Structure 1
Amino acid sequence: MQWMYNMKIGAKLLVSFIIIALITGIVGAVGYVNVQKLEDSNIILYEKMTLPIAAVGQISTSYQEMQVIVRDMIVTNDPASILSHADQVGVRNQEIDEAAAAFQETLIDPEMQAIFEEFVVSRKSLATELEKVKALALENKDAEAFVLLADEGSYGKAASVEMAAINKLVPMKLEEAQVFEELDVTTASTAKNTMIIVTLISFAVAIAFGLILRSLISKPLQQATQMSKEMNMGHFTMRLKMKRKDEIGEMAEAMDSFSDAIQNVVIGTMNQLASGDVSANIEPRDDQDELAPAIKSTIETIRTLIDEATMLALAAIQGQWETRGDAGKFRGGYKEIVEGVNATLDT
C-alpha cells in the first residue's frame, strides 16, 4: 500500500483514469460478447430453424401438387397432354429436390438426419414407381395405373412412406426451434444478469477506488490546511509526519521543517533574547533567506547596544565622564536609548 502513497499525484490520477477506462472497457466487452451470442443464436434460429420449416412446407406443397398432376396424367388420354403432365411432375420433383437440399444443410439433430435419410430413400422408390405410372399412362392403361396409386399399390406405398417422412420432419423441426428459442431466452437472461453483476462490480470498484484516491489526496490536504491555519494563529507544535514521497509528502515535510525552524530558530532565539542571552549565531540558509538575516541583524544590534552600555558604564566607573555612546550605530528606539544616556551624562 505504501507504493500508492509514494506515487506522484499525476501518476495517481493517470492510474485512476486508466482503471476507470479498463472498467468501462470490461463492461463494454461483456456487453459485446453477450450481444454477439444473442446475434449468433438468432442467426441459427432463423437459418437452421425458420428457413428449414419453409423448405419442408415447399416440399409438402410440391408433393401435393405432384400427386394431383400424376392423377391428371393418368386420366388424360392424349399422349401430348400426358407428356406435358409428366414434364410438370418433373418440375415439381425439381422443386422438391431443391427444397430438400436446402433443408439438408440445416440438419443438426442426428435423429432428424435419420428421418431425412428415410425421406431420401422414399424419394428414390417413388421416382421408380412414378416411371411405372407414367408408362401405363402413355399406354392409356388407366386402371392399372390407378391400382399402383391405391394405398396398397406400390406407388401408393412409396408415396405414403415419403409423406410420412415429410410429416415427421415438420414437428421435429418445430420442436428443435422451440429448444433454440428457449436457449435464446436463457442466453438473454444470462446476458442480462451478467451485465447487471459486472456493472455492479464495476460500480463498486469505481466507488472504492474513488474513496481510496480521496483518502490518498483529499485527507492529507485537509491536514495540511489545518496545519496552515494553526501556523497562521502562531501555533507551531503541530506536525504532519507524513511518510510518503509524492508531492503531498514533500509539502508535508517542508511544512514540518518550517515549523521546526520557526520553533528552534525564531521562537528559541526570541526567548533567548528575552532572557538576555545574545549568544545565538544565526546564518542565512541561502541568498534568498529573509528570516535569518533579520534575526541576525536584531541580535547584532542588541549586542552592539549592550557593548555601548557596558562601555559607558565602565567609563563612568573609571571617572571618564567625557565618554559618550555612538548613537550613529543605531536607529529608532535603540538610538534614542543611547542618546538618552549621553544626555544624562551631559547633565
Structure 2
Amino acid sequence: MMLNMKIKWIRKTSFSKKGFSNPLNNVKIGTKLIGGFLVMIMLLVAFAAVSFTNTRTMNSSMKLISDQTTPLRTLTKIETQVSRIRYSLFKYMTIEGDRGHTGMDIQDAARVVSTEIASLRSSSLTDEESKIAAALDQSWGDYQKQMNVILSLSDDGNEKEAAAMLSDVGEETSAREGLIWAINKLMDMNLDNTYQANKKGEAAFNNAIVLGGTISLFALAIAMVVAILLTRNITRPLSKGVEMMTELAKGHLGRRLNMKRRDEIGMLSDSMDSFAYDLQNVVVGTMKKIAAGDLASEVTAKDSDDEISPALSGTIESLRGLTTQMNKVYAEQKAGDIEYYMDTSGL
C-alpha cells in the first residue's frame, strides 16, 4: 500500500516541476494531425481566394480594354464607309449608266454609318466622349444632306455643280471634314483610355504575381513550420522512449523519461516510468532484500492480470516456508532428534 502511494506521489510531482511546457504536449496526437491538415486546408483556401480575386481584377481590366477597343472598331468602320460613299458619289456623278448599282452602294454604306453611330452613342462613353459622339451624329446628318444634294444634281444633269460640291472647298468636303474630326477625336480618346486600361491591367497582373508569390511563400513557410513542429513533437519523445527501452533491455533501470505531457505519448511515458520504477524498486529491490536474507517484503498485485507481483510474492512465500522448515530441522536436530529431516514434498 505504501509502495503504491509512493508511485502516485512520484507521478504527481513529475508534472509540478516549474519550467516551460510546450502547449502541443497537452494535445492528443489525433487532434494535432487533424489541426495540421486543417491549417493546410485553410492556407489552400486563402490562396484560392486571393487567386480568384486577382483573376476577377484582371478580367475586369481585360473587359475595360475590350470596351475601349469596340468603339475603335466602330469608328474605323464609320470612317471606311464614309470614304466608300465619297468614292461612290464620284462614280455616280461620272458614270451615268451605272447609277442604279452605285446608288444602292451609297445607300447601303449610309445605312451602315447610321447603324454604327447609333451603336456608338448607346455604348458606355464618358461625358466628353458623349459630347463628341453627339457632334459626330450631327455632322453625319449634315453630310447626308450634302450627299442627297449631289445625287439630285447628278440626276438632273448638273454634274458641274455636283463636282464643285465634291471639290476640296466644296460643301461635301466641309461636311466630311466635320465627320473626320469627330471620328479622329473619339479615336484619340479611346486610344488614351485603352492605354490607361492596359496600364491598369498590367498593374493588376503584376500585383497578382507578387501577391500570389508572397502568399505561396507564406503558405509554404507555415506548412513547413507546422510539419516540423508536429514531427518533432512526436518523433523526439518516441526516440527517447526507444532509448529508454534499450537501456532497460541492458538491465539499466535508473533511467526515467519524466515527460510533462498529457497526450498519448505522455501516457506511454508515465507507464514506462512506472514500469521502470516497479522493476527497479519492487522486483529488483525485493530480490536484493531476499539475497540479503530479508523475507519480510510484501508485494501486492496491481490487478487480476498482474503476473510479476504474484510470481515475486510466491517466491517470497516459498522461501519463507523453506526457511521455516530449515529452522525446524535445525531445532529438532539440536534437541537430539538427529533423524529428523526436512519435508521436501511440497518444494
Aligned to 1:37: 57
- Aligned-pair CA distance for 1:258: 0.8
- Aligned-pair CA distance for 1:218: 0.8
Q: Distance in 2 between matches of 1:58 and 1:307?
A: 125
Opposite residue 58 of structure 2, the aligned amino acid is: L
Distance 1:54 1:265, change over 3 A: same
Q: Distance in 2 between matches of 1:74 and 1:258?
A: 118
Alignment of structure 1 residues 243-322 onto 2, 5 Å: 243-322=260-339
Q: Distance in 1 between matches of 2:193 and 2:123?
A: 11
Q: Distance in 2 between matches of 1:140 and 1:244?
A: 111
Q: Distance in 1 between matches of 2:56 and 2:298?
A: 79
In 2, are the aligned partners of 1:278 and 1:303 still within 8 Å (CA)? yes
- Aligned-pair CA distance for 1:209: 0.4
Q: Distance in 2 between matches of 1:174 and 1:87?
A: 34
In 1, are the aligned partners of 2:166 and 2:173 still within 8 Å (CA)? yes
Aligned to 2:16: none
**Deviations along 1:5-62, whole A, 9 cap, x unmatched?**
33332332232223223323433443344344334433443x3233433322211110
- Aligned-pair CA distance for 1:162: 0.8
Alignment of structure 1 residues 169-188 onto 2, 5 Å: 169-188=186-205
Opposite residue 8 of structure 1, the aligned amino acid is: K
TM-score by length of 2: 0.84
Pick the aligned partner of 2:145 from 128, 134, 139: 128
- Aligned-pair CA distance for 1:77: 5.6
Aligned to 1:60: 79
| Equivalent pairs, count | 327
In 2, are the aligned partners of 1:59 and 1:95 still within 8 Å (CA)? yes
Aligned to 1:192: 209
Q: Distance in 1 between matches of 2:122 and 2:67?
A: 8
**Deviations along 1:182-226, whole A, 9 cap, x unmatched?**
322222222111121111111101110011101221111111111
In 2, are the aligned partners of 1:38 and 1:188 still within 8 Å (CA)? yes
Distance 1:2 1:106, change over 3 A: farther
- Aligned-pair CA distance for 1:150: 4.4
Q: Distance in 2 between matches of 1:314 and 1:104?
A: 133
Determine whether 1:215 maps to 2:235: no
Determine whether 1:5 maps to 2:22: no
Structure 1 spans left out of the alignment, 5+ residues: 331-347
Aligned to 1:238: 255
- Aligned-pair CA distance for 1:297: 1.4
In 2, are the aligned partners of 1:27 and 1:198 still within 8 Å (CA)? yes
Opposite residue 56 of structure 1, the aligned amino acid is: L
CA RMSD of aligned residues (A): 2.6
Aligned to 1:21: 41
Q: Distance in 1 between matches of 2:279 and 2:293?
A: 20
Distance 1:307 1:108, change over 3 A: farther
Say which one has the larger Rg.
Answer: 1
Opposite residue 305 of structure 1, the aligned amino acid is: L
Distance 1:108 1:255, change over 3 A: farther
SS of the residue aligned with 1:328? coil
Deviates more, 1:301-310 or 1:69-78: 69-78
Deviates more, 1:276-285 or 1:212-221: 276-285
- Aligned-pair CA distance for 1:125: 2.1
- Aligned-pair CA distance for 1:236: 2.2
Larger RCO: Structure 1 or Structure 2 (Cα < 8 Å, ≥ 6 residues apart)? Answer: 2
Determine whether 1:144 maps to 2:161: yes
**Deviations along 1:57-95, whole A, 9 cap, x unmatched?**
2111100011122233344567xx656544432211111
Distance 1:218 1:195, change over 3 A: same
Opposite residue 255 of structure 2, the aligned amino acid is: M
In 2, are the aligned partners of 1:49 and 1:106 still within 8 Å (CA)? no
Q: Distance in 2 between matches of 1:73 and 1:289?
A: 120
Aligned to 1:339: none
Distance 1:171 1:322, change over 3 A: same
Distance 1:108 1:215, change over 3 A: farther
In 1, are the aligned partners of 2:120 and 2:133 still within 8 Å (CA)? no
Structure 2 spans left out of the alignment, 5+ residues: 1-20
- Aligned-pair CA distance for 1:134: 3.2
Q: Distance in 2 between matches of 1:37 and 1:105?
A: 25
Determine whether 1:69 maps to 2:88: yes
Aligned to 2:69: 50
Aligned to 1:327: 344
